[in-house]
Structure 1
């Protein structure tokens, strides 16, 4: 695949967060970009405004038959009419990961993998490299609040890529610097067992280019099997790691801290994001920037202006009597970090968490963990499971989680939620989930602002 010789590219599932980043990459190169998605969203509307032609019906007569490359997402059903037609008619049809594979071969690649934290760390790295003048091409799995996009380009032959473990797609990448944030069990519908998933993360580190660098979270299971020519471990506060934070102070919903490495220290770093896990994410991102030789004061100035990623500990409403946080958390460990951090930043407030479980298989496999983490809240509202790419599984419902939660809990239909919230006091409100719960963010915010 020669990315420089492509004139027309067609995307099946163009509205996906990872797909849209690659679509923007081609669009900025002057390639004619078009595609299909199931529904129109604010993101697809942005793509259309940028000049991409998109339709929302699975209809081959609407597809671009002049395309010399067709890119699809694994979330598209195998029997999809357009996908089937392109395959049967001799087009070059590739997954999103195949395009990223080619990019990592041709550029100096910094990839970020892990069950959670990868979107924040990759966006933070890309933002630091951009704001300090180092430069990079960024392929992200979330929308940067600073730039309001998930892709940006640079003449610098450097790429920062969020490496997605779903469908093992991240194993195609060949990074120069690889970051690994977590190895917790997830996507067991793909991997089968936690051990198989761990093997995939281990293989990810084996794919690092010769003389490359691995930056891994301290304390990961099977850490000794994670290999690279150069290996650094980062931590929130454990001083046994190669890089860690100390003197952490909470400050107006964010933090001030020092980052310490063996021969290097960056003092008084200000991070205007909630969540102690984001301090740890910042340590990882700062370590990458330091390895690249970027001046410490420039790094600190960039971190101080970083506004985060939409739906990652995002302050939707923040005033003296009301805080509303929206987050993409859809795994028990992500919920644990989200809830504990929010309660620590706003002590004494009743914490109400509205959670939409994502996938029947994930709910079935991790129900105990979800219940344990959600029980850290003061009260919980569960929405029905968002099915995404799955068909229902008999007996798997939100009740599986509700029955194990140890604090007051209700299951409420999505279309009844606003009506219910009108009668409630929610001084610390959190919405979480990877489905379509984000559609409620603006209506909830409008209700709270009244």
Structure 2
């Protein structure tokens, strides 16, 4: 039986396995606000599950067949879930409608005028920027963002009454193949998920399929500085607008400079001010202007809106500002680590101290040397043990392989702490006024950031 939006709205209850995930909690909240009863399970508590519980959703923090209420019609799961999961098997046993999160997202938004933001890096921030500009310009869009957003009161979804929807188009597990966009952003194409894609060519093929799913008359806003993206877009034959730092782009970023924790730059000579730092954010903002201009939003209106954009949780998020600054950051690919650290070096008055948690054994195996190259921008480095997420351990792959590269190539001193107390005491012993400490990674490194902030409360730096 094919699933439609109408059938979902008529459901008794939808159950989400892994409801705390970035994409899952957003869809759960969307349907809750449309009056559908929701339940869910996850193995760990986080900010998102706490938010859902406050909204009245029952979340069980384990996986058990009993977690699926008897009146459930639809069960939603993520690609990270094993099909041997007991709740997944229970749903099959009961003959319930089972749907992937990505398919449900497509069902939810494909009837809208859809803006889909794709690319290896910058999807979440760019999606949120577009959302902010459309809201402030009166479009009242529906938003599905892969992070918690301040202007959405900490949510990752927004229900709008307008015709437009903005979504983050994730290449992981080829999830974006379920989307049929009208407007597309592609920020970059670089191999990241080696557990999904056999290589760069396989990844590019997946993006080609994504573009082929777009609606008639679709248009692509793409980073022309990325030769892979440029080639892909040109081969697609879809109408396109390029942006970037080089003069051959249609939208040219120039005169970038940091101003404290903000930035300013020009798009085709027009002045733009950002309340978030980094040349990578200037590029993200220019992508959002590309979408805005397609919708008839003037540079003046756009500039007012984008200056009010204050960022997304865990995207170079300033979480402590006193004698030292502490940032919480989601960077988990060498390119992202390098971009974040270059930005922090720009704005720091002292040293930059990085606490990095590698995410996935496969990613560490493939990119340990590149991680070392990026982390070497730091003045001091702490490595936490690898966060495995969905993966089994790969023999011989642990954080020490990055440490070895840092020591041998750059002569860096690197600590791999055994306990939280060891980490906190070490950071307290090396940090000085004017320094920046950044906690970086896609796993539970944000918890270590919280532990350190609690530790700071009793210590004068």
Do both share a fold (TM > 0.5)?
yes
SS of 1:106 mapped into structure 2: coil
Q: Give the conservation status (yes or no) of the 8 Å contact 1:356–1:384.
A: yes
Deviations 1:289-340 (A, max 9, x none): 1111123322111111111001101112234x41222210000000110111
Give runs of aligned pairs for residues 87-106 of structure 1, distance below 5 A.
Answer: 87-106=92-111
- Shift of residue 165 of structure 1? 1.0
| Of 193-202 and 174-183, the range deviating more from structure 2 | 193-202
- 2:240 paired with 1:240: no
Aligned mates of 1:231, 1:104 — CA distance in 2? 22
Give runs of aligned pairs for residues 200-279 of structure 1, distance below 5 A.
Answer: 200-222=206-228, 223-226=230-233, 227-235=236-244, 237-260=245-268, 267-279=270-282
**Residue 317 of structure 1 is aligned with which of 317, 320, 323?**
320
Structure 1 pair 132–412 and aligned structure 2 pair: CA distance change class (3 A): same
**Residue 71 of structure 2 is aligned with which of 61, 66, 72?**
66
TM-score, length-scaled by structure 2: 0.92
- 2:461 paired with 1:445: no
| Of 73-82 and 409-418, the range deviating more from structure 2 | 409-418
- Shift of residue 39 of structure 1? 1.8
SS of 2:110 mapped into structure 1: helix
Deviations 1:349-403 (A, max 9, x none): 2111110000000000111110111111112110000111111111001011110
- Shift of residue 136 of structure 1? 0.7
Aligned mates of 1:208, 1:189 — CA distance in 2? 26
TM-score, length-scaled by structure 1: 0.95
Q: Give the conservation status (yes or no) of the 8 Å contact 1:323–1:428.
A: yes
- Residue 307 (structure 1) aligns with: 310
| RMSD between aligned residues | 1.5
Aligned residues: 442
- Shift of residue 228 of structure 1? 4.5
- Residue 368 (structure 1) aligns with: 369
- Shift of residue 414 of structure 1? 5.0
Aligned mates of 1:372, 1:202 — CA distance in 2? 31
Q: Give the conservation status (yes or no) of the 8 Å contact 2:225–2:243.
A: no
Aligned mates of 2:282, 2:47 — CA distance in 1? 30
Give runs of aligned pairs for residues 176-215 of structure 1, distance below 5 A.
Answer: 176-215=182-221
Structure 2 gaps of 5+ residues are none
Deviations 1:76-130 (A, max 9, x none): 2221111111123211101001112213421111011111100100111111111
SS of 2:253 mapped into structure 1: strand
Q: Give the conservation status (yes or no) of the 8 Å contact 2:67–2:87.
A: no
